[in-house]
Amino acid sequence: MHEARVARTRDGHPQHTALLGEWAIGKTTLLMHWRRRLEAAGDRVVLTMAYPQSRDDFLAALTGAVAAETDSGWTSNVDLEVGFDVGVAEARLRRPPREVEKELPSALRRAAQVGDHHTLVVMVDDVDLVATPGDALLQLRAISLELYAMDIAITFVVSASPGLFGSIRGAHEPLVRFFEPITLGPLGAASAAEAIAKPLAGTGIRFDDAVLAEIVELSGGRPYYLQKLAYFAFDAAEGGTVGRAEFAAAFERAFASVSQEIFAARWSAMAPAERQVASVVASANVARLSGEIEDAAKRLGISPPATRQALRRLAARGQIDRLANGQRGRYAISDRLFRRYLELQACER
């Protein structure tokens, strides 16, 4: 589907994509897969990651990533830091806002014109980590329209949680039409079990049925969790078998790895009030009415309006789940691993 959109962009009918899904669902892996296929087809691809930052800092970082990827260099005095993480080019570039909005279109234009490439594809992972993702997307949309006028074939692909567009009120419809959504969902129980069992075939290692079922349940069908839990379980095999005792030790190592790679960054991106509200939501295994959460948060010194705002923001970023129940709604955290992380954070305070 995505490659067809790039082909239409190449033919003068540009299309852009928002890849939506919960964390650990495989968005980053899919972006890297798309990058390899598009580069093999002769397109130039820039793949970068967003961070908890302002819109202007995000645009500056994207400018730096494009420049670093195309090796165009900078003649002015800038502070540029480039690193690499699982094959994704990252860059942080500090520039005044007024310069950023001019330099990003220029950097994209240079990237599209370097070498013999068909289309410039710019991929931004986790764009909803930006403080105001709607503003950032509107700016990318404006830049795209500017480049269209120059007959430059460019397409943007952004990844985010399913609530990306829900928090962008007035610009919701224009952005949904511009960044056409593709939504990734979790694997069903049977598919998740097969994803674990198939790679084990021929290895001489087997997981007890109870262990396999527990991994499937803990993962919630998220491929990244499946991979982590199964990897550490495989590593803990004794005598070719992984039973409950082996998995108990393996789970703690897998949980520590996921916490370091995903949860710690999500936690640090939350405001203090959001952390407390998230911990309140995590303290229950079932969905709770917003009024109940407001009462519990009030005992922690958070006013009801501040709690409602925190709930909206947490739900928009996919850190908690909002279940429809009238206007107020009910909230829960279905991700068992993240709920455990929040419970541990609450115990440490």
Last residue of a domain, one of 161, 183, 205: 183
Which residues are bridge partners to 46 per DSSP?
A: 122
Range of the domain at 30: 2-183
Tell me the whole-structure pTM to 2 decimals: 0.76
Q: Examine the domain organization and report whether 98 and 112 are in the same domain.
A: yes
Q: Which residue has the tokens 């692909």?
A: 157
Same-domain status, 148 and 33: yes
Confidence tier at 86 by pLDDT (50, 70, 90): very low
Average pLDDT value for residue range 314-324: 85
**d(Cα 326, Cα 317) in Å, to the nearest integer?**
21
Q: Residue 166 gets which letter from DSSP?
A: G
Residues 151 and 275 placed together within one structural domain of the fold: no
Count of domains forming the chain: 3
More confident residue, 109 or 171: 109
Q: Which residues make Cβ contacts (< 8 Å) with residue 153, sequence separation at least 6? A: 9, 10, 12, 14, 112, 118, 119, 120
User: CA-based diameter of the chain, in Å?
Assistant: 65
Segment 41-63, tens digit of pLDDT? 888 899 999 988 889 999 999 99
The string of DSSP codes covering 110-134 is HHHHSSS-S-EEEEEETGGGSSSHH
pLDDT tens, residue by residue, 189-212: 999 999 999 999 889 999 999 999
User: What pLDDT does 177 receive?
Assistant: 87
pLDDT of residue 340: 95
238-247: pLDDT as tens digits: 889 999 999 9
Shared domain for 165 and 29, answered yes or no, is yes
User: Are 267 and 275 a contacting pair, CB within 8 Å?
Assistant: yes
Q: Are residues 256 and 229 in the same domain?
A: yes
Structural domain ending residue among the three candidates 266, 288, 306: 266
The span from the CA of 154 to the CA of 8, in Å, is: 11
Task: With residue 59 as reference, give the H or E element that holds it.
Answer: helix 55-70
End position of a domain, from candidates 168, 183, 198: 183
Chain centroid, CA 240 distance in Å: 36
Do 256 and 113 have their domain in common?
Answer: no
